[in-house]
Chains A and B, each alone.
Chain A
Amino acid sequence: MVVIKAFGQVKEQVGMGEFRIEEEMQNVKSLRTYLSDKYPAISWSSVAIAVNKQYAQDQDPLHQGDEIALIPPVSGG
């Protein structure tokens, strides 16, 4: 289980700011794949992912209870 916090436009696209994923995820890449299957309209390759407040790369492992942040690019000024 991991806890997800969504920011920017992703928050609206997934329809909630915070949710849990019960499935086991090996690493950030498997999370991206899971999210791409569930929310195919979102361009997941452009969304930055942080694990426990730390910017993460695809190969970084995920652990039970990790807090994930999904931070898409935002552009308003």
Chain B
Amino acid sequence: MYTEKVMDHFSNPRNVGEIENADGVGEVGNASCGDIMKIFLKVEDGIIKDVKFKTFGCGAAIATSSMVTELAIGKTLDEALVLTNQAVADALDGLPAAKMHCSNLAADALHEAIKDYKQKHS
């Protein structure tokens, strides 16, 4: 049901954890759907230097979280803001249709973290 890439990111998730004194933190999802994603950012000169995540959720939720951290690191905030959930799913060679709603929120979590950063630094 899951692609090889999903299983790779699920079984060896990249950038798991928290960033202490993160420059931005974003969380999306809820316990009702069974998926909660939290993203932590370290930003320097408008560039995302580090991203970490914590996720409660199914295989797709964990894999998309891991993938979004990889996609975001090194990007400018504006570049990261145009990353979509669909792009994350595509980078994983796709997700099962049933997972596209609740479990594919990683880009949203990233955007929330960027919003949080911008609010704190405006």
Decide if A and B are genuine partners.
no
Question: Residues on A close to B: CB < 8 A?
Answer: none
